[in-house]
Each structure stands twice: as C-alpha cells, then as structure tokens.
C-alpha cells in the first residue's frame, strides 16, 4: 500500500511541475535548486552508504564503485543519444519534442521502479528514494511541458504528454510487485541509482536552477535541499 500511495504522489508531483511550468516559470529556479540538492543528498547520504552496506557482504569497494560509475555514465549515454533533454535551443521540431517527452516518460517509469526497489531494501530506504523521486518528478513535469511547447506543440498536446509522464511512475512502482531482487544484487542496483541520481542532479537540476537566475539564493536552496536530506537520514 505504501508503494501505491507514494507512486500516486510521484504522479501528482509531475502534474504540479507541469502546472508550474505553465504558470510560474520565473520562480522555478528556487524550487529546482532545492530539488537538485535533495536528489544529490539522497545519493550521497542514503543510497551510497546503503549500497556499500549491502554490497560489501558480497563485493569489494571497487566493484561497488564501478556500478556507481556505470549508473552515471550509462545515464550520460542515454541522455546524449536519445535526446532526453533538448539542449539545442535553436532547433525546434515536433519530432524532437515527441521523442524528448517519450523518453522523459520512460525515465519516469524507472523512477517508479526505483521506489519499489528501495522498499525491497528497507522501508526507510524506500521512503528516502521516494523523496528524491518526488522532487525529480516535479522537474520532469516541467521538462515535459517545456519540450512540447518549445518544439511546436500547443498546450493541449503538452497536457496529454504530462498525463502520460504522470502515469508511468505508478506503472513502474507496480511492476516491482511482480519480482524480488536478491540481497546480493540489491547493493549493486542501489549503486547504479547513486550514479543516476548524481547525474540527474549535476546535469539537469543544477543547470536548470541557474538558467537565467545565477543568484546566491539558488545556491543556498541547493545546500538546504542536501542538508535537509542529511538531517532526515541521520535523525530518523
């Protein structure tokens, strides 16, 4: 039941992000800055220690670090090859918007899987991963709407893709009810998530938070996001 409720919350976060993209674009940098710190904080302060704790029973530290790197660089390849983000501002086309939104929706499916797999590690890990996914899904909603609108789509098309993107985290979380990952593999899977979360924070959320607003307050919000996750992990 926890997984279902949190997956619904992830869907809601995607919708809220898309709504903010349409209504409050000029104030998004502060929220995205906080999200960047929260996602990086989950990777550093929760997932990484958990990956080493579980994985060290079966693998050495260098092997676990290798899977962190695989997560980071694997997501880099996915980002560059499948055009997860539209970096070329001067290239506007409907196919770019379509494939960008489709890939963001696919990524949201894996976000949902991350929640389910986190709960397989422990309820606390599941909740912390869910917190990071919620903040990132907010950004996904923003990016989905922006990709469609910047590449020739109208508001109606943007809302349709926003609905698809919001549905996929629930499907991803539900899929993990059909399988269980063994403890010997779970540490490596969490290590991959460390790499992907670090990539998302460094390449997506942090640059987006500073876009047109390179202010000190944005940096403070990023530090607050990371600090909050640190406190949650160490006080609960």
Inter-residue contact 171 to 9 (CB < 8 Å): no
Q: What beta strand segments (E) does the chain contain?
A: none
Residue 98 neighbours by CB distance under 10 Å: 17
User: Is residue 152 classed as helix, strand or coil in its secondary structure?
Assistant: coil
Residue 48 neighbours by CB distance under 10 Å: 21
Q: CA nearest 139: which of 8, 6, 35?
A: 35
Query: Which tens digits make up the pLDDT trace of 120-167?
Result: 888 888 887 777 777 667 766 776 676 666 656 667 777 777 788 788
pLDDT band at 115 (very low <50, low <70, confident <90, very high): confident
In the prediction, which pLDDT does 99 show? 59
Query: Which tens digits make up the pLDDT trace of 63-92?
Result: 999 999 999 998 888 777 755 444 444 444
Residue 94 to residues 88, 104, 149, 156: CA-CA distances in angstroms? 14, 15, 9, 14
Query: Which tens digits make up the pLDDT trace of 189-208?
Result: 889 989 988 987 888 778 77
Inter-residue contact 194 to 128 (CB < 8 Å): no
Query: Which tens digits make up the pLDDT trace of 8-45?
Result: 777 787 777 777 766 665 666 777 777 788 878 888 98
In the prediction, which pLDDT does 52 show? 92
Answer with the residue of higher pLDDT: 143 or 97.
143
Provide the 8-state DSSP code for 211. Answer: T
Question: Averaged over 215-234, what is the pLDDT?
Answer: 84
In the prediction, which pLDDT does 90 show? 44
Mean pLDDT of the chain: 77
Residue 193 to residues 7, 23, 150, 164, 188: CA-CA distances in angstroms? 17, 32, 30, 23, 9
* Domain positions in the chain: 2-235
In the prediction, which pLDDT does 189 show? 87
């Amino acid at each position: 039941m926890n997984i279902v409720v949190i997956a619904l919350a992830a869907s809601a976060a995607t919708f809220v992000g898309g709504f903010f993209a349409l209504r409050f674009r000029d104030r998004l940098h502060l929220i995205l800055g906080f999200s960047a710190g929260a996602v990086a904080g989950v990777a550093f302060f929760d997932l990484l220690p958990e990956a080493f704790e579980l994985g060290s029973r079966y693998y050495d530290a260098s092997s676990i670090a290798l899977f962190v790197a695989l997560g980071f660089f694997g997501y880099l390849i996915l980002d560059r090859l499948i055009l997860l983000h539209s970096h070329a501002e001067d290239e506007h086309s409907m196919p770019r918007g379509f494939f960008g939104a489709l890939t963001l929706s696919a990524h949201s499916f894996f976000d949902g899987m991350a929640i389910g797999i986190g709960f397989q590690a422990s309820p606390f890990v599941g909740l912390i991963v869910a917190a990071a996914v919620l903040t990132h899904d907010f950004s996904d909603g923003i990016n989905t709407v922006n990709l469609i609108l910047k590449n020739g789509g109208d508001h109606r098309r943007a809302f349709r893709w926003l609905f698809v993107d919001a549905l996929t985290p629930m499907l991803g979380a539900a899929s993990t009810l059909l399988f269980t990952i063994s403890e010997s593999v779970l540490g490596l899977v969490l290590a991959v998530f460390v790499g992907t979360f670090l990539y998302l924070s460094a390449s997506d959320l942090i640059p987006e938070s500073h876009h047109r607003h390179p202010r000190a307050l944005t940096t403070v919000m990023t530090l607050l996001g990371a600090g909050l996750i640190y406190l949650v992990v160490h006080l609960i």
